[in-house]
Amino acid sequence: MGRFIRWLIVLFLPLAALSQQSTTAPQQNAAPATQNPPTQNPPSQNPPSQNNAPPQLQPRPAGPSLPPPSPTDRQITLDVQVADRSGIAVRGLQKQDFTLLDDKQAKNIVSFHAVDSAAGPTTDPPVEVVLVVDAVNASFQAVNYERNEIKKFLLANGGKLPLPVSLVVFTDAGAKIQDGSSRDGNALASLYDQYETGVRTINRSQGFYGAAERYDLSLKTLTQLIAYQTPRPGRKLMIWFSPGWPLLSGPNVQLTGKEQQSLFGSIVAASTGLRQARITLYSVDPLGLADAATVRISYYEDFLKGVASPSHTLPGDLGLQVLVVQSGGRVFNSSNDLSAEIAHCASDADSFYVLSFDPARADQANEYHSITVKINKSGITARTRTGYYAQP
């Protein structure tokens, strides 16, 4: 167990340092444009939806590389999905239909607007769908099955995609990220065919330390994707095809105070990074019905409550499905029709509401605040981020 504890320190300290930057970096020292992850052209000149270059996958550095964020958020922006009891999106709501609670206290909604694809073009940047193929936490057979399902989604409607889509392939060797995005499903399917995921070298047969290595690689990849997406405009729907990385939590896993502090910093960094990049996470389990009857698929629910202090941290607080729910996304783990589940995720771009509010001034760094959005109409519910970390 000592080896595991030393590994935790190595993993969590870099991410905790990123969180510390968010509270200490001067606002005027924001990262210059040349330090942002590379894109083919500045977004204002070539938006993702208008990128006509053939899509390519590019390897990214293995280490965390988030640009230093500003010390505080002057306003917090929420992307809010609203649905009726049948799960059908509710359109046409107004600002007065919403109540926003910060730690159960009503907050003034500073700005409000609706995004509705049926209403025609808007000034908002197009929502981008990011497909993450996880060959580290899924078996070779599962990855092959999801390849066919992803291609089915890409090739529907003659390959004409309603939203710009980009592809990420995550293997033991690291992540390859497509520069830009494309609405050409045929080109994306062809690109996917050109890349062989191969048989992973890290698997469950390697026991606890194989699980720890998969956990490490997965969080590093998530950090890379946040860093890449942060400077890109607009909302991103990131669909991660995976049963999830190991939660590494249980009665035999105990952390020291120093390790809990480092882990807490990592939780703050992940939560803040996803929010500032406007990433909504979704998880699609390629095992589908084969996994549906197991206890494993619901274990993540034990970690959904926001972590308010280092003394309450566990590695499971950074589980994939935990981050999905906390970002306002959805967990899909009980169907073999993966292409339909992709479409369900992407449908969140058809209609949603964008709200902003002034965050509370914290008494101390990294003070957790829960967020609840309620609709003042019966039978209607809202789904959005579940919390944020306020700063002094």
Token match 């992850």: residue? Answer: 37
pLDDT at 183: 96
* CA neighbor of 141 nearest in space, from 203, 202, 199, 214: 199
Measured distance CA(315)–CA(10) in Å, rounded = 14
The C-alpha angle 279, 282, 284, rounded to 5 degrees, equals 155
Q: What is the phi-psi region of residue 198: left when phi exceeds 0, alpha when psi lies from -120 to 50, beta otherwise? A: left
Tokens of 86: 């049948």
Phi-psi region of 207 (alpha: psi -120 to 50; beta: other; left: phi over 0): left
pLDDT at res. 251: 80
Q: What are phi and psi of 185, to 5 degrees?
A: -65, -30
CA dist., res. 92 & res. 116, Å (int): 9
The tens-digit pLDDT sequence of the chain (392 residues) is 444 444 454 455 445 444 444 444 333 333 333 333 333 333 333 444 445 667 777 765 544 444 444 555 789 999 999 999 999 999 999 999 999 999 999 999 999 999 999 887 777 789 999 999 999 999 888 999 999 999 999 999 999 999 999 999 999 888 999 988 999 999 999 999 887 665 455 555 565 668 999 999 999 999 999 999 999 999 999 999 999 999 998 887 889 999 999 999 999 999 999 999 999 999 999 987 666 666 678 899 999 999 999 999 999 999 999 999 999 999 999 889 999 999 999 999 999 999 999 998 899 999 999 999 999 999 999 999 999 999 99
Q: Which residue, 102, 65, 124, is CA-closest to 273?
A: 65
pLDDT of residue 29: 37
**Would you mind telling me the total number of residues written for the chain in this entry?**
392
In this prediction the pTM is 0.84
